[in-house]
Chains A and B, each alone.
Chain A
Amino acid sequence: MLISRSDRGLLASWWFTVDKLLLSAVLLLMASGVLISMAASPPVAERIGVDSFHFFHNQLMYLFPAMLVLFAVSMLDPRQARRASFWTLIISLALMVAALKFGPEIKGAHRWINIGPINLQPSEFAKPAFVTIAAWLLAERTEHPDMPGHLFAFALAGVFIGLLVIQPDFGQTVLVTMTFAAMLLIYGISWVYVGGLVSLGVAGVLVAYETIPHVASRIDRFLNPEKGDTFQVDTATQAFKNGGIMGTGPGGGEAKQVLPDAHSDFTFAVVGEEFGLIACLALVMLFCFVVMRVLRRASMEADPFPALAMGGLVTVFGLQAVINMGVNVSLLPAKGMTLPFISYGGSSLIGMAFAMGLILAFGRTRPKVRLPAGDWHLAKG
Chain B
Amino acid sequence: MGDAGGEGPRRLAGQNRLRLVGMGFAFAFLAICAQLVALTVLPNLGGPPEARLPVEARLPRPDIVDRNGVLLASDVQVPSLFADPKKIIDIDEAVELLTAHIPDLDAKLLRARLSQSNRFAWLKREMSPAERDAIFDLGIPGIGFVNETKRVYPMGRLAAHVLGYVDLDSKGIAGIEKYLDDQGALYTASLADPETQSAHPAEISIDIRVQHVLADEIGQAITKYKALAGGAVVLDADTGEVVGLVSLPDFNPNDSNRNFKSQQQNQMMSGVYELGSVIKAITFAMCFDYGTATLASRYDARFPLVIGRHAIRDFHGLHRVLTVPEIFTHSSNIGTARMALEVGPERHQAFMRRVGLFDRLLTEVPETAKPLLPARWGKLVTATAAFGHGFAVQPLQGAAVVASLLNGGKLITPTFLKRDRATAEGLAQQVVKPETSRIMRELFRLNVTEGTARRADAIGYRVGGKTGTAEKVINGRYSKNHRMTSFIGAFPIEAPRYVLLIMLDDPQPTPSTFGQATSGWNAVPTAGKVIERIAPLLGVTPILTPDDLKKLEKQEKQALAGKGPD
Interface residues of chain A, those whose CB is within 8 Å of chain B, are 139, 142-143, 182, 185-189, 235, 237-238, 240-245, 254-255, 257-258, 272, 276-277, 280-281, 284, 287-288, 291-292, 295-296, 298-299, 302-304, 307-308, 311, 315, 318, 322, 325-326, 329-331, 368-373
With A143-B10, A258-B55, A373-B7: A186-B25 Cβ-Cβ less than 8 Å: no
Closest-by-CB residue of A relative to B37 is: A277
Shortest distance between the CB of A280 and any CB in chain B (Å) = 5
With A292-B25, A326-B28: A240-B36 Cβ-Cβ less than 8 Å: yes
Per CB-CB distance, the 3 closest pairs between chain A and chain B, nearest first, are A188-B13, A188-B14, A240-B39
Contact of B13 among A187, A287, A299, A329 (CB under 8 A): A187
**Residues from chain A with Cβ under 8 Å of B37 in the complex:** 277
**Residues from chain A with Cβ under 8 Å of B56 in the complex:** 257-258
Asked if A299 and B9 sit within 8 Å, CB to CB, the answer is no
Asked if B2 and A280 sit within 8 Å, CB to CB, the answer is no
Q: Interface of chain A, helix or strand or loop or mixed?
A: helix
Shortest distance between the CB of B24 and any CB in chain A (Å) = 9
Asked if A322 and B32 sit within 8 Å, CB to CB, the answer is yes
A189 to B16, CA, bound (A): 12
**Residues from chain A with Cβ under 8 Å of B10 in the complex:** 142-143, 304
Asked if A189 and B19 sit within 8 Å, CB to CB, the answer is no
Chain B, 1-47, CB within 8 A of any chain A CB: 1-2, 5-22, 25-26, 28-29, 31-33, 35-37, 39-41, 43-44
A152 to B29, CA, bound (A): 33
Closest-by-CB residue of B relative to A234 is: B55
**Residues from chain A with Cβ under 8 Å of B8 in the complex:** 302, 368-371
Interface residues of chain B, those whose CB is within 8 Å of chain A, are 1-2, 5-22, 25-26, 28-29, 31-33, 35-37, 39-41, 43-44, 52, 54-56
**Residues from chain A with Cβ under 8 Å of B26 in the complex:** 288, 292
A144 to B129, CA, bound (A): 85
Asked if A186 and B17 sit within 8 Å, CB to CB, the answer is yes
Closest-by-CB residue of A relative to B39 is: A240
Given contacts A241-B39, A277-B40, A280-B36, 20 further A-B contacts (CB under 8 A): A139-B12, A143-B9, A188-B13, A189-B14, A240-B39, A254-B55, A255-B55, A257-B55, A288-B29, A298-B18, A299-B19, A302-B1, A307-B12, A311-B18, A311-B21, A322-B28, A322-B32, A326-B31, A369-B9, A371-B7
Shortest distance between the CB of B52 and any CB in chain A (Å) = 7
A365 to B206, CA, bound (A): 82
A267 to B12, CA, bound (A): 38
**Residues from chain B with Cβ under 8 Å of A139 in the complex:** 12
The 11 listed contacts between A and B (C-beta, < 8 Å) are: A142-B13, A187-B13, A238-B55, A242-B52, A245-B40, A302-B2, A304-B9, A304-B10, A325-B32, A331-B31, A371-B7
Asked if B11 and A304 sit within 8 Å, CB to CB, the answer is yes
Closest-by-CB residue of A relative to B35 is: A329
With A237-B39, A373-B7: A318-B25 Cβ-Cβ less than 8 Å: yes
**Residues from chain B with Cβ under 8 Å of A235 in the complex:** 55
Asked if B55 and A287 sit within 8 Å, CB to CB, the answer is no
Shortest distance between the CB of B268 and any CB in chain A (Å) = 34
A189 to B13, CA, bound (A): 8
Asked if A295 and B14 sit within 8 Å, CB to CB, the answer is no
Shortest distance between the CB of B169 and any CB in chain A (Å) = 13
Contact of B39 among A182, A302, A329 (CB under 8 A): A329
A85 to B15, CA, bound (A): 22
Closest-by-CB residue of B relative to A238 is: B55
A277 to B32, CA, bound (A): 11
A296 to B16, CA, bound (A): 10
**Residues from chain A with Cβ under 8 Å of B6 in the complex:** 373
Asked if B16 and A299 sit within 8 Å, CB to CB, the answer is yes
A372 to B16, CA, bound (A): 25
Shortest distance between the CB of B7 and any CB in chain A (Å) = 5
Asked if A244 and B41 sit within 8 Å, CB to CB, the answer is yes
With A254-B54, A292-B26: A277-B41 Cβ-Cβ less than 8 Å: yes
